[in-house]
């Protein structure tokens, strides 16, 4: 019997090993080259892309990577290198990240660029905050602000706006926001003089947040009303501005404007910004209840928000039913939640709405009812409930909440027959508000359109059109990434 011969050629060849992933240091070097290209060509879009790449990389940052990058990006004799290196924690027994893991081309950058220096400050600041080194982070932020005061370059504006944000954030974490209010005002004035509109947007929001943190609503409104107006450059900053404006309007009892601002902020915010959208919805629910509206059930059932909005769902149910006792129980049960959300003072205002809703239900159910029974049904616990019920009914009739009359001699409330709602102006008002909303959305969409210069004069070739569509696709992708990352 012939022997079996092993055929080496028929054996499957082992698959080629995948190339090793690029190291964190290599990624940082590539980001630095993107910033350098943006600085030399004066393309702000490249700087924005570098910031987005950094946000995606921040969870992988280690002290050795940041230290190695500082040695690569900054001259060793520079003041910035000495200051930033001293702020980084020392890791004993850890070697620096080696680029040999990734067979990428060697990256070199030009030293002395202000954009690279400010990026190094931003990188160290993010690393220190993520590692809860707040004292070192405050020192780094203060040094970066001092350096930014001497710069006036449009390519630095994107990096500067991020530095301003983290500068305020680290002081908020250490409960020292009041200390930097003067600095933020000076920076806002400087950004206005330098025509840095992105910096103005960012700093205005930081100042509004600073004032609202200490409940200084009047000062916040004065600053907002006197600040320069311009077209919004960042969707994230515009959402924050609308949210702060809604809070100010709510405290000032301008509920209609507050509702519009809060709902617009929640609608414009990216879907990944769940925490921000939850806050917007909480305030919008309270404002709608204060306006006498009952939010739809779908508002409370949004994906990822059901648990956070549960206290406000129970509160809305109490207001809808008009049960004062249930309202008190809900307010006491979730008192800590409402205090943490800073909405407890607004919920105190809702007591009158609960009484008015209960009175409206009573007027619909009874054609004639005594004031004593009204006081009993509303569960008024005052010394003279009948007199209180009479004053509440009189005020509701005067405000148009119910259509009834008071028979003072017999102590009755006599409800008038319910007429046809279509004979009133209510349908017209509802349609008008919907039309105004659609027109406003159309105008905003038209304003957001962008056209290349002289597009109406020149006829583009098929190649140019293909290139333009590719650029638009890339820009849309970058804008979507920015929306996801910034919140």
- Domain containing 413 — which CATH number? 1.10.10.10
Range of the domain at 381: 366-418
Tell me if 93 is assigned to some domain: no
Tell me if 277 is assigned to some domain: no
User: Could you tell me the two tokens for 371?
Assistant: 């004031």
Which regions of the chain are under pLDDT 50?
A: 1-21, 93-105
User: Could you tell me the two tokens for 299?
Assistant: 């508002």
- 3-state secondary structure (DSSP) of residue 406: strand
Which pLDDT does position 478 carry in this prediction?
60
Which pLDDT does position 435 carry in this prediction?
92
Which pLDDT does position 244 carry in this prediction?
92
- 3-state secondary structure (DSSP) of residue 289: helix
Which pLDDT does position 81 carry in this prediction?
80
Task: Choose one of 418, 436, 452: the last residue of a domain.
Answer: 418
Helices within 149-232 (DSSP H only): 157-173, 181-193, 197-213, 217-226
What's the total number of domains in the chain? 2
Closest CA to 129 of 169, 159, 70, 90: 169
Task: Choose one of 176, 191, 215: the last residue of a domain.
Answer: 176
Tell me if 149 is assigned to some domain: yes
Which pLDDT does position 456 carry in this prediction?
55
Which pLDDT does position 7 carry in this prediction?
44
Tell me if 388 is assigned to some domain: yes
- Can you say whether the dihedral through the CA atoms of 306, 307, 312, 317 is positive or negative? positive
- Can you say whether the dihedral through the CA atoms of 224, 190, 75, 106 is positive or negative? positive
Gap between the Cα atoms of 469 and 460, Å rounded: 12
Residues in Cβ contact with 304 at an 8 Å cutoff, skipping those fewer than 6 apart: 274
Which pLDDT does position 457 carry in this prediction?
56
Which pLDDT does position 93 carry in this prediction?
45
- 3-state secondary structure (DSSP) of residue 413: strand
Cβ 238 vs Cβ 202: under 8 Å: no
- Can you say whether the dihedral through the CA atoms of 55, 57, 59, 63 is positive or negative? negative
Tell me if 470 is assigned to some domain: no
Residues in Cβ contact with 187 at an 8 Å cutoff, skipping those fewer than 6 apart: 145, 148, 149, 164, 199, 203
205-238: pLDDT as tens digits:
999 998 988 888 898 899 888 888 777 677 888 8
Query: Which uninterrupted H or E stretch holds 260?
Result: helix 255-268
Task: Choose one of 153, 176, 199: the last residue of a domain.
Answer: 176
Cβ 287 vs Cβ 258: under 8 Å: yes
Assign residue 322 a region: left if phi > 0, alpha if psi is -120 to 50, beta otherwise?
Answer: left
């Amino acid at each position: 019997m012939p022997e079996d011969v092993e055929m080496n050629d028929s054996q499957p060849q082992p698959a080629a090993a995948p190339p090793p992933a690029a190291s964190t240091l290599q990624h940082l070097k590539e980001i630095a080259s993107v910033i350098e290209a943006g600085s030399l060509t004066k393309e702000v879009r490249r700087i924005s892309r570098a910031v987005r790449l950094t946000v995606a990389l921040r969870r992988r940052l280690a002290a050795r990577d940041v230290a190695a990058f500082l040695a690569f990006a900054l001259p060793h004799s520079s003041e910035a290198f000495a200051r930033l290196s001293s702020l980084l924690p020392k890791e004993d027994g850890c070697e620096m990240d080696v680029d040999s893991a990734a067979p990428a081309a060697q990256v070199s950058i030009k030293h002395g660029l202000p954009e690279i220096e400010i990026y190094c400050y931003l990188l160290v600041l993010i690393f220190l905050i993520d590692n809860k080194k707040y004292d070192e982070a405050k020192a780094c932020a203060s040094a970066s602000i001092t350096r930014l005061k001497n710069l006036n370059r449009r390519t630095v504006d994107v990096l500067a706006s991020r530095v301003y944000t983290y500068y305020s954030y680290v002081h908020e974490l250490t409960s020292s926001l009041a200390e930097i209010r003067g600095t933020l005002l000076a920076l806002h004035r400087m950004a206005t003089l330098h025509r840095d509109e992105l910096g103005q947007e960012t700093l205005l929001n930081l100042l509004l947040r600073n004032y609202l943190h200490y409940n200084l609503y009047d000062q916040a409104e004065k600053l907002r009303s006197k600040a320069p107006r311009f077209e919004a450059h960042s969707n994230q900053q515009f959402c924050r501005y609308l949210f702060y404006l809604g809070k100010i309007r709510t405290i000032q009892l301008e509920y209609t404007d507050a509702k519009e601002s809060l709902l617009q902020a929640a609608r414009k915010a990216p879907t990944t910004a769940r925490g921000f959208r939850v806050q917007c919805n909480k305030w919008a629910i309270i404002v709608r209840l204060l306006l006498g509206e009952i939010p739809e059930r779908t508002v409370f059932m949004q994906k990822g928000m059901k648990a956070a909005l549960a206290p406000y769902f129970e509160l809305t149910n109490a207001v809808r039913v008009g049960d004062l006792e249930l309202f008190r129980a809900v307010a006491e049960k979730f008192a800590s939640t409402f205090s943490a959300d800073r909405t407890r003072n607004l919920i105190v205002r809702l007591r009158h709405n609960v009484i008015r809703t209960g009175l409206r239900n009573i007027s619909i159910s009874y054609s004639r009812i005594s004031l004593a029974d009204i006081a009993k049904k509303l569960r008024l616990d005052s010394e003279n409930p009948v007199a209180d019920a009479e004053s509440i009914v009189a005020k509701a009739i005067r405000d148009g909440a119910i259509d009834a009359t008071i028979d003072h001699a017999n102590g009755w409330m006599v409800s008038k027959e319910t007429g046809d709602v279509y004979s009133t102006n209510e349908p017209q008002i509802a349609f008008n508000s919907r039309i105004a909303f659609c027109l406003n959305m159309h105008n905003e969409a038209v304003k957001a359109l962008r056209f290349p210069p002289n597009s109406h004069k020149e006829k583009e070739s098929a190649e140019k059109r293909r290139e333009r569509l590719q650029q638009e696709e890339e820009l849309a992708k970058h804008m979507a990434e920015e929306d996801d990352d910034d919140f």
